[in-house]
Chains A and B, each alone.
Chain A
Amino acid sequence: EAQVTQNPRYLITVTGKKLTVTCSQNMNHEYMSWYRQDPGLGLRQIYYSMNVEVTDKGDVPEGYKVSRKEKRNFPLILESPSPNQTSLYFCASSLFTSEHNEQFFGPGTRLTVL
């Protein structure tokens, strides 16, 4: 089954404790992206990657890191989480061609930073 998976689905942590949220897709998509969703603000792009070893900042990259060592994986790293990073996080992937640029989303990771 074609899908985007994220782990963990739920995480409660404390300020300053490094964490990684994994994202994996099995559709051989070039493009992958991370979003956070907060009430009233919609989805905001954190980082995206057009291909292996190519990553770029989105609209809200502060406090986050990403890596793209393999095509299928795009982990999101919070080196020192803070309470304002409490949010619902979605990973997405896409072929991103002129004909097929719809995004497929993972199920989301609900993060709480105390």
Chain B
Amino acid sequence: RKEVEQDPGPFNVPEGATVAFNCTYSNSASQSFFWYRQDCRKEPKLLMSVYSSGNEDGRFTAQLNRASQYISLLIRDSKLSDSATYLCVVSGSASKIIFGSGTRLSIRP
């Protein structure tokens, strides 16, 4: 079993739709959680950190469920520019950082 698992997609949704991604992790001692966005052939960039209390940044909402060991990302009112691959990242000890394989999202006009 992979340490961090994501649905690879692709998710193909119309502009304006709401889309949700989930990511599960296997190490219950994991401490930090992130969502990164990666455009084709470009470097990953931090989208948002994920906190236990949940956090929101504009159209994006991230949540953490420690009991079930998953994190989620919700995108509301999706835009064409949201088309990208979304990477779930989990950090345990001071050094171990695990990336999920990514979920591809394609927004159609």
Enumerate chain A interface residues (CB-CB to B < 8 A): 31, 33, 35, 40-45, 48, 50, 56, 88, 90, 96, 101-108
Enumerate chain B interface residues (CB-CB to A < 8 A): 8, 32, 34, 41-46, 49, 87, 91, 94-102
Partner of A48, one of B44, B95, B101: B95
C-alpha spacing A104/B98, complex, angstroms: 15
* Chain A residues closer than 8 Å to B99, beta-carbon distance: 35, 42-44
C-alpha spacing A45/B3, complex, angstroms: 13
With contacts A50-B94, A101-B91, A102-B49 taken as known, whether A42 is within 8 angstroms of B41 at the C-beta atoms is: no
* Chain A residues closer than 8 Å to B98, beta-carbon distance: 45
A102 near B34 with CB under 8 A, answer: yes
C-alpha spacing A52/B81, complex, angstroms: 39
C-alpha spacing A29/B100, complex, angstroms: 24
B102 near A105 with CB under 8 A, answer: no
C-alpha spacing A48/B97, complex, angstroms: 10
* Chain B residues closer than 8 Å to A43, beta-carbon distance: 44, 87, 99
With contacts A50-B95, A102-B34 taken as known, whether A41 is within 8 angstroms of B101 at the C-beta atoms is: yes
CB distance from A110 to the nearest CB of B (A): 8
Determine the residue in chain A with the shortest Cβ distance to B48.
Answer: A102
C-alpha spacing A33/B8, complex, angstroms: 25
A42 near B100 with CB under 8 A, answer: yes
Residue among A31, A48, A103 with most chain B CB within 10 A: A103
- 12 A-B pairs whose Cβ atoms sit less than 8 Å apart in the complex: A43-B44, A43-B99, A44-B99, A45-B96, A48-B95, A50-B95, A88-B41, A90-B43, A96-B94, A103-B97, A107-B43, A108-B43
Determine the residue in chain B with the shortest Cβ distance to A48.
Answer: B95
CB distance from B85 to the nearest CB of A (A): 10
C-alpha spacing A89/B96, complex, angstroms: 18
C-alpha spacing A43/B38, complex, angstroms: 11
Residue among A33, A43, A44 with most chain B CB within 10 A: A43
